[in-house]
Amino acid sequence: MEDLIRAENLGVTLGGKVVLEEITFSARAGDLTGIIGPNGAGKTTLLRAVLGLVPVQKGELTVIGVPSSRVKEIRPRIGYMPQRQSFEQRFPLSSADVVATGLLSPGTLLRRIDNKEKKIQTALKSVGMAHLSSWPFQDLSGGEQQRVLLARSLVRSPALLLLDEPNAGLDFPAQQSFMELLQKLKEKEGLTIILVSHDLISIAAASDQLVCINRTMHIHGQPADVLRSPHLDEAYRCQFDFLSSTGDKERSWH
């Protein structure tokens, strides 16, 4: 399968500070790639580089066959779900209104959006939220809000989906339900997903490969291999024990 993202010795400097350097990995089409690393590791910056929102100063980054300098041209093919704190929770929009914001692009400026309602309803249906399309967004539970935001990132039928800590702030059942939904979308729609998360156990269970960074590249590969690797301890600057028995992973912290 082709690689939808290919990064080679990627380097990003923001305001004179090196945020990412020598990041090398690739994400195959149809795979779910988990990005892990401690706070401040540059995970969100990596997603923003893939979106073309921050300039790449060193190395090469290719997204859906296009170099990072031209990513703007293919933005409609990339779905993005930022962290929850980037928006006002009490904003007076319905679920459908929130999804509609995902349809806006430079191409829709001063223009009517074709089949707008159909696209919104299809996106909401794909995340199991069509029945609450007219419901105020602020009255939804945290898990439901995340589903609506996921629908917003899916409304343009992207080939690549970038999710920045979608499980943050959710209770365990809501996290589980969201991860199951991602798996379903991946299998049914053939979506390529890049998922940033702090929850090592659930991201490892869901991912086809893990990429561990802390400003630089630490390790990438099969989830089980990454979790057993001493490079993971190096990246987090602490020691993990991952006990693998009958496929279940448990974690203890020293």
Report, in Å, the least distance between residue 215 CB and another protein.
19
How far apart are CB 224 and another protein at their closest, in Å? 30
CA–CA separation, 149 and 188 (whole Å): 19
21-51: b (≥16 Cβ within 10 Å) or e: bebebbbbebbbbbbbbeeebbbbbbbbbbb
Instruction: Choose between 26 and 83: whose C-beta lies nearer to another protein.
Output: 83
Nearer to another protein, 66 or 224 (CB): 66
Closest CA relative to residue 140, chosen from 129, 150, 151: 129
Give min distance, CB of 41 to another protein, in A. Answer: 19
* C-alpha to C-alpha distance for 105 and 176, rounded to whole angstroms: 32
Minimum CB separation of residue 51 from another protein in Å reads: 5
Binding site for another protein (CB under 8 A): 15, 51, 53, 72, 75-76, 78, 80, 82, 86-88, 91-94, 97-98, 100-102, 104-106, 109-110, 127-129, 131-132, 135-136, 138-139, 141, 143-144, 147, 152, 174, 177
Nearer to another protein, 126 or 197 (CB): 126
Q: Which is nearer to another protein, 104 or 238 (CB)?
A: 104
Q: How far is the CB of 82 from another protein (least distance, A)?
A: 5
Q: Identify the helix (H) or strand (E) that includes residue 113.
A: none
Task: Give CA–CA dist 163/4, Å, rounded.
Answer: 15
**Choice between 84 and 215, CB closer to another protein:** 84
Residue with smaller CB distance to another protein, 70 or 251:
70
Minimum Å distance from CB 186 to another protein? Answer: 18
Beta strands in the chain (DSSP E): 3-14, 17-28, 32-36, 58-63, 66-67, 78-81, 160-164, 192-196, 209-214, 216-221, 240-245, 248-253
Query: Cα–Cα distance between 248 and 20 in angstroms, integer?
Result: 33
